[in-house]
Amino acid sequence: MGVGHRQALRLLARRNLEVGGRLLRKLGDKRMPGRVQASKWLVSTEVFHELMRPTPAPSERDIANLRAEVVLINEKLEALRKAVRPLLRQLAEQNAT
């Protein structure tokens, strides 16, 4: 049996709270009277798969948390690499002459 759209969103929000807010990233703000609400959320599929893995034993929870941390760090490193790549290319061009 499938999961409905609202139920899936609730499960995702609940899982995000369980992992300390590491699953969802806020992309923008939607201003409403009296409060600010996120307009969009970014979900990393790699982190999602890692965090949704079933952990049969309590002793394996620490290992699962470490695996999720490694995935998060790898994503951040890849984003840094992409951001720095044009700068390195520009420096290489300047040093080539």
Location of structure tokens 């790699």: 46
Q: How far apart are CA 73 and CA 55, in angstroms?
A: 21
Which domain covers residue 86, as residue numbers?
A: 5-96
Q: Is 38 helix (H, G, I), strand (E, B) or coil?
A: strand
Indicate the number of domains in the chain. Answer: 1
Per-residue pLDDT tens listing for the chain (97 residues): 577 878 877 888 888 787 777 777 777 677 767 777 666 677 777 777 777 777 667 777 778 778 878 888 888 888 889 989 998 888 888 887 6
- For the question of whether the overall pTM of this predicted structure is more than 0.75, the answer is no
Q: Is 41 helix (H, G, I), strand (E, B) or coil?
A: strand
Q: HSE on the CB side for 21, CA within 13 Å?
A: 2
